[in-house]
């Protein structure tokens, strides 16, 4: 049997997270997040010396590229990884521009910009489109650092790009960021392609041995919700990309000092586990009673929150209405590749004006509005404060930058006091402002990840620490779903695959065509259905037929209760 990669393992620290109180949920998430800095088992997390050395060398290469008018730093990934690529490119281009430099950072996301805030997982499976997008973007470039991010060392989209760069090493310096040891890179056939991710990584290792490529893969342990790479892996991706970029622009910065700043931001956030617990409680009550959670923020805060919300549909089988984010200025503030997408459907209505027009009139007492940062309070109209919903305010507080007290009334105000001491040594104000912004954003990422994860746990969408209502929307998630079904039965992989297919095709007897169809064909059918995995879990544990399983799910909509009862 194939070894499970670390990013797909169940984290023992969170095994009982489904039975924890809201405050305990925050404590468990803290313990898991600390593995980013302290490592997992024998590993050292982001403090691994080998990783720090590689960051040092790579930052040097990036600084050369930044100076070159035909140079580019391209960051690419799928889902959260692509979204964080977008945020990083946006932040550092703004910074370079403010200093009169070239805006040489670029991002690519599988599924293009529509995937920035909505889930389009199937696009992750296409290595050919991945390579094509990169080739298009870099047509006139002569020196490119390409950074492919795939937390699980698995995304075919990124594999296609890495493979392309490996055959153009005269122009490209390929970099792979992920959080598994290289021998755990995915070794499954990629549809319509002749290599596996693992084979591409083997080539990359050869290039690395001759100093032509880099693999940055600190081991940070399994996710608190098994496989949910938007959490620790997403945060670590941010930290690595930001440290690399900061170090490339300001060579005097110390990598270890920068890591310590992120670590101290993490401790600062989790000093507030009581408040985080109360916030999770409020959000959980909203979702459980059929209400919604809306995040509002300016700039990076709004974008960070939208990224958080966008992962709830694939992870928890949530509807896009359940949790949504809105950013001041909407697309005009985004600086994204494809410009304004707001005409493409309700998912792409992302401005505060859209929120005030489409949502505020129907806000109910079961809804929760989360204001992120002080600035947003000056951007929204009074009507939000008289709506019958609940309101939470989250902001950051630096001892020398005390927020002005607001007269608004909130159900909860969470003002994080961040540690300013380490910033004091920086002698450039723009740099200080940039690092402050990055630390605030990562802090708010921890907060919103707590909120959305905790709320879905309270809604019953997590059993032990498994996402039992994951959407079967790409190859990786298909195989993860089979693993989850197997976890709740004593059946073989083959038997669980057959049961998952029965649930997907809604039949007790699969036709020969259904059985032999490709994984992509299964995904196309599964993507537009609800409760595919829960139905399969019930069938696997009770040996019942599809309609009986669906009846049971109707009678007990709190999934966790049903699955626990079955397991016991």
Binding site for ligand F6P (CB under 6 A): 77-81, 121, 124, 149-152, 154-155, 229-230, 311, 314, 474, 476-477
| Shortest CB 352 distance to ligand F6P, Å | 26
Q: CA angle 550-551-552, nearest 5°?
A: 90
Q: How far apart are CA 159 and CA 136, in angstroms?
A: 17
| Helices 546-555, 559-567: crossing angle, 10 deg rounding | 120
263 versus 308: smaller Cβ distance to ligand F6P:
308
Q: How far apart are CA 391 and CA 468, in angstroms?
A: 29
Q: How far apart are CA 473 and CA 329, in angstroms?
A: 31
| Shortest CB 119 distance to ligand F6P, Å | 7
90 versus 390: smaller Cβ distance to ligand F6P:
90
| Shortest CB 361 distance to ligand F6P, Å | 33
| Shortest CB 459 distance to ligand F6P, Å | 18
309 versus 389: smaller Cβ distance to ligand F6P:
309
Q: How far apart are CA 553 and CA 89, in angstroms?
A: 44
Q: How far apart are CA 494 and CA 211, in angstroms?
A: 43
Enumerate residues 6+ apart whose C-beta is below 8 A from 134. Answer: 74, 76, 108, 146, 161, 164, 165
| Shortest CB 137 distance to ligand F6P, Å | 19
Buried b (16+ CB within 10 A) or exposed e, 256-273: eebbebbbbbbebbbebb
130 versus 330: smaller Cβ distance to ligand F6P:
130
Q: How far apart are CA 367 and CA 376, in angstroms?
A: 19
DSSP string over 140-189: T-SEEEEEEE-TTS--HHHHHHHHHHHT-TTTEEEEEE-SS-GGGS--SP
| Helices 232-249, 49-67: crossing angle, 10 deg rounding | 50
Among left, alpha and beta (phi > 0; psi -120 to 50; other), residue 280 is alpha
Residue number with the smallest Cβ distance to ligand F6P: 79
233 versus 487: smaller Cβ distance to ligand F6P:
233
DSSP letter assigned to residue 356: I
318 versus 384: smaller Cβ distance to ligand F6P:
318
150 versus 486: smaller Cβ distance to ligand F6P:
150
Query: In the chain, how many H helices and how many E strands?
Result: 21, 12
| Shortest CB 498 distance to ligand F6P, Å | 23
Contact 40, 255 (CB under 8 A): no
275 versus 441: smaller Cβ distance to ligand F6P:
441
Cα separation values, 250 from 88, 96, 420, 430, Å: 16, 11, 20, 11
473 versus 498: smaller Cβ distance to ligand F6P:
473
| Shortest CB 151 distance to ligand F6P, Å | 4
| Shortest CB 301 distance to ligand F6P, Å | 20
End-to-end CA distance of the chain: 27
| Shortest CB 506 distance to ligand F6P, Å | 23
| Shortest CB 64 distance to ligand F6P, Å | 27
80 versus 173: smaller Cβ distance to ligand F6P:
80
Q: 3-class DSSP state for residue 394?
A: strand
| Shortest CB 186 distance to ligand F6P, Å | 9
Q: How far apart are CA 107 and CA 83, in angstroms?
A: 9
14 versus 436: smaller Cβ distance to ligand F6P:
14
7 versus 395: smaller Cβ distance to ligand F6P:
7
Enumerate residues 6+ apart whose C-beta is below 8 A from 318. Answer: 312, 456, 461
Contact 488, 318 (CB under 8 A): no
80 versus 535: smaller Cβ distance to ligand F6P:
80
| Shortest CB 426 distance to ligand F6P, Å | 31
174 versus 314: smaller Cβ distance to ligand F6P:
314
| Shortest CB 528 distance to ligand F6P, Å | 16
Nearest to 135 by CA among 421, 127, 217, 111: 127
| Shortest CB 470 distance to ligand F6P, Å | 9
DSSP string over 71-118: EEEEEEESTHHHHHHHHHHHHHHHHHHHTT----EEEEETTGGGGGTS
Cα separation values, 566 from 131, 495, 496, 500, Å: 45, 18, 16, 17
C-alpha dihedral sign at 320, 326, 330, 331: negative
């Amino acid at each position: 049997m194939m070894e499970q990669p670390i990013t797909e393992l169940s984290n023992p620290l969170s095994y009982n997270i489904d039975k924890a109180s809201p405050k305990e949920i925050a404590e468990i998430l803290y313990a898991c997040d600390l593995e980013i800095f302290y490592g997992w088992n024998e590993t050292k997390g982001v403090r691994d010396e080998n990783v720090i050395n590689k960051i040092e060398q790579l930052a040097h290469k990036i600084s050369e590229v930044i100076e070159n008018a035909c140079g580019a730093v391209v960051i690419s990934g799928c889902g959260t990884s692509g979204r964080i690529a977008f945020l990083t490119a946006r932040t550092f281009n703004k910074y370079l521009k403010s200093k009169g430099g070239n805006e040489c950072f670029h991002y690519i996301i599988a599924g293009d910009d529509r995937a920035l805030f909505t889930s389009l997982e199937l696009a992750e499976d296409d290595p050919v489109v991945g390579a094509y997008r990169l080739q298009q973007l870099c047509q006139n470039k002569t020196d490119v650092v390409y950074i492919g991010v795939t937390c699980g060392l698995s995304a075919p989209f990124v594999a296609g790009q890495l493979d392309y760069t490996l055959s153009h090493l005269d122009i490209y310096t390929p970099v792979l960021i992920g959080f598994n040891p290289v021998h755990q890179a995915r070794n499954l056939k990629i549809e319509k392609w002749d290599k596996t991710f693992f084979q591409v990584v083997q080539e990359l290792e050869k290039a690395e041995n001759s100093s032509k490529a880099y693999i940055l893969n600190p081991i940070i342990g399994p996710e608190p919700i098994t496989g949910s790479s938007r959490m620790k892996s997403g945060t670590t991706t941010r930290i690595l990309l930001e440290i690399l970029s900061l170090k490339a622009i300001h060579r005097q910065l110390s990598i270890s000092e920068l890591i310590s700043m992120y670590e101290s931001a993490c401790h600062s956030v989790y000093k507030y586990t009581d408040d985080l617990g109360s916030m999770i409680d409020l959000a959980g009550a909203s979702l459980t009673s059929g209400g919604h959670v809306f995040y509002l923020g300016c700039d990076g805060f709004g974008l960070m929150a939208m990224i958080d919300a966008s992962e709830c549909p694939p992870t928890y089988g949530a509807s896009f209405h359940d949790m949504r984010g809105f950013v001041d200025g909407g697309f005009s503030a985004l600086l994204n590749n494809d410009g304004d997408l707001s005409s493409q459907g309700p998912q792409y209505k992302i401005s505060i004006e859209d929120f005030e027009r489409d949502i505020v009139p129907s806000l109910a007492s079961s809804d929760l509005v989360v204001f992120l940062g002080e600035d947003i309070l000056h951007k929204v109209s009074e009507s939000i404060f008289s709506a019958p919903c609940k309101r939470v305010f989250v902001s950051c507080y630096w001892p020398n930058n005390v927020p002005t007290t607001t007269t608004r009334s909130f159900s909860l105000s969470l003002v994080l006091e961040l540690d300013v001491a380490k910033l004091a040594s920086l002698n450039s104000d723009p740099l200080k402002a940039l690092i402050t912004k990055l630390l605030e954003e990562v802090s708010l990422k921890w907060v919103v990840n707590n909120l959305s994860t905790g709320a879905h746990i309270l809604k019953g969408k997590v059993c032990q620490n498994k996402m039992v209502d994951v959407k079967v929307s790409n190859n990786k998630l298909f195989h993860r779903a089979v693993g989850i079904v197997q976890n709740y039965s004593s059946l073989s992989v083959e038997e669980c695959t057959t049961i998952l297919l029965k649930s997907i095709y809604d039949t007790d007897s699969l036709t020969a065509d259904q059985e032999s169809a490709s994984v992509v064909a299964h995904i196309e059918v599964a993507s537009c259905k609800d409760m595919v995995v829960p139905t399969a879990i019930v069938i696997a544990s009770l040996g019942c037929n599809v309609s009986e399983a669906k009846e049971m799910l109707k009678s007990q909509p709190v999934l966790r209760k049903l699955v626990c009862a079955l397991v016991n």
